[in-house]
Structure 1
Amino acid sequence: MDATQWDERYRASAGGVWATQPPAVVREIAGALAPGSAIDVATGDGRTALWLAQRGWTTTGIDFSSAGLALAAARPGGDAVSWVRADVHEFEPAASVDLVVSCYLHLRDNAAAIARIAEWVAVGGTLVVIGHDVDNIAAGGHGPSDPAILYTPELLRGALDDRFRIERCEQVTRGTGDSELRDGHAQPAIDTVLHAVRVR
C-alpha cells in the first residue's frame, strides 16, 4: 500500500486502525530501558510513540500517511510527541537517538530499510523491530500474504553489521490477547522480533 491508500484506510477507520498498546514484546524490551530519545518508525496512528512518551521518552513518530499522523496527534498525549510526515527511505534525524522502534514495517527492501533505520541508533542505544514472519501465512494469522515483504530471523539478523550486538532475534507467537488491530484477532499470529544494541 502506498501513502494514499493508507490515508484512505485511516480516514475510514473509527478512531484508528491499530490497537492502543504496542505489541507485548516491544513493551517488555522498551519498558526495561531508561527513558531517553526515541524514534518510532512507521508510527501509523501513534500507539507506540504515545506509549513511549507516556513513559518519559522524548519521542518522534514518523510515517508517510498524513491521515494516520492526524489521528495520532489527536489522541490524548499527542502533543507530547513530535509527529513527522516522512518516508523511511528519505528521513534523516537531526541526531542519533537512544531507541529506534519499528512495528510492522513491510517493504520490498526490508533488509535495506532496517539497515537504514539502524543508522539512527546512538552508540549504546537500542533497536527493536517486530513484524509479520513469513511463516505467518501458513499459520493463517492476520497480515500480508506476500512472502517477499515478510520477515525471517535470518533477514533481520543479516540487516545489521558488527556495530550491533544482537540480544534477541527469533520468531514469537502473538496470542489473540496481544492484538495488533483494534478489533483483535481470531487466532494467534507468528512474528519475528529483533532486539539489538549498538556497541560502536
Structure 2
Amino acid sequence: MDATQWDERYRASAGGVWAAEPPAVVREIVSACRPGTAIDVATGDGRTAVWLAARGWSCTGIDFSAAGLALAAARPGGDAVTWIHADVHEWEPSASVDLVVSCYLHLPDSAAAVARIGEWVAPGGTLVVIGHDIENIAAGGHGPSDPAILYTPDLLHGALDDRFRIERCGRITRTAADAELRGGHGSAAIDTLLHAVRVR
C-alpha cells in the first residue's frame, strides 16, 4: 500500500487502526532500557510513540501517511511526541538516538530499510524491529499475504553489520490477547523479532 491508500484506511477508521499499545515483546524490551531519545519508524496512528513518550522518552514518530499522523497527534499524550510526515527512504534525523523502534514496516526492500534505520542508532543504543514473518501466511494470521515483503530471521539478522550485537533474532508467536489491530483478531500471528544493540 502506498501513502494514499494508507491515508484512505486511516480516514475510514473510527479513531485508529492499531491496538492501543505496542506489542508485548516490544514493551518488555524497551522497559529494560533507560529512557532517552527515540524514533518510532512507520508510527502509523502513533501507538508506540505515545507509549514511549508516556514513559519518559523524547520521541519522534515518522510516517508517510498524513492521515495516520493526524490520528496520532490527536491521541491522549500525542502532544508529547514530535510527528514527522516523511518517507523512511528519504528522511534523516538531525542526530542519532538511543532507541529506534519499527513495528510492522513491510517494504519490498525491507532489509535495506532496516539497515538504514539502524544507522540512526547511537553507539550503545537499541534497535527493535518486529514484523510479520513469512510463516504467518500458512498460519492464517492477520497481515500481508505477499511473501516478498514479509520477514524472516535471516533477513533481519543479515540487515545489520558487525557494529551491532544481536541480542535476539527469531520467530515469536503473538496470541489474540496481544492483537495488532484496534478491534483485536481471533488468531495467533507469527512475527519476526530483532533486538540489537549498537556497540560502535
Q: TM-score, normalised by structure 1?
A: 1.00
Q: Which runs of 5+ in 2 are unaligned?
A: none
Q: Distance in 2 between matches of 1:185 and 1:170?
A: 23
How many percent of aligned residue pairs carry the same amino acid? 81
Q: Distance in 2 between matches of 1:189 and 1:75?
A: 26
Q: Distance in 2 between matches of 1:16 and 1:185?
A: 15
Q: Which runs of 5+ in 1 are unaligned?
A: none
- The 5-angstrom pairing of residues 23-172 of structure 1 reads 23-172=23-172
Helix, strand or coil for the counterpart of 2:195? strand
Report the more deviating stretch, 40-49 or 179-188.
179-188
Structure 1: 4+ residue segments shifted above 4 A: none
Deviations 1:91-115 (A, max 9, x none): 1000000000000000000000000
Q: Distance in 2 between matches of 1:43 and 1:125?
A: 19
The alignment yields a C-alpha RMSD, in angstroms, of: 0.3
Q: Distance in 2 between matches of 1:181 and 1:142?
A: 9
One-letter identity of the residue aligned with 1:87: D
Count of residue pairs brought into register by the alignment: 200
Q: Distance in 2 between matches of 1:54 and 1:33?
A: 14
Deviations 1:35-84 (A, max 9, x none): 00000000000000000000000000000000000000001111100000
Q: Distance in 2 between matches of 1:183 and 1:44?
A: 16
Q: Which residue of 2 aligns with 1:15?
A: 15
State the Cα distance separating 1:185 from its structure 2 match: 1.1
Q: Distance in 1 between matches of 2:9 and 2:123?
A: 37
Q: TM-score, normalised by structure 2?
A: 1.00
One-letter identity of the residue aligned with 1:84: I
Q: Distance in 2 between matches of 1:182 and 1:76?
A: 16
Helix, strand or coil for the counterpart of 2:91? coil
Q: Distance in 2 between matches of 1:21 and 1:57?
A: 15
Q: Distance in 2 between matches of 1:58 and 1:195?
A: 20
Q: Distance in 2 between matches of 1:181 and 1:189?
A: 12
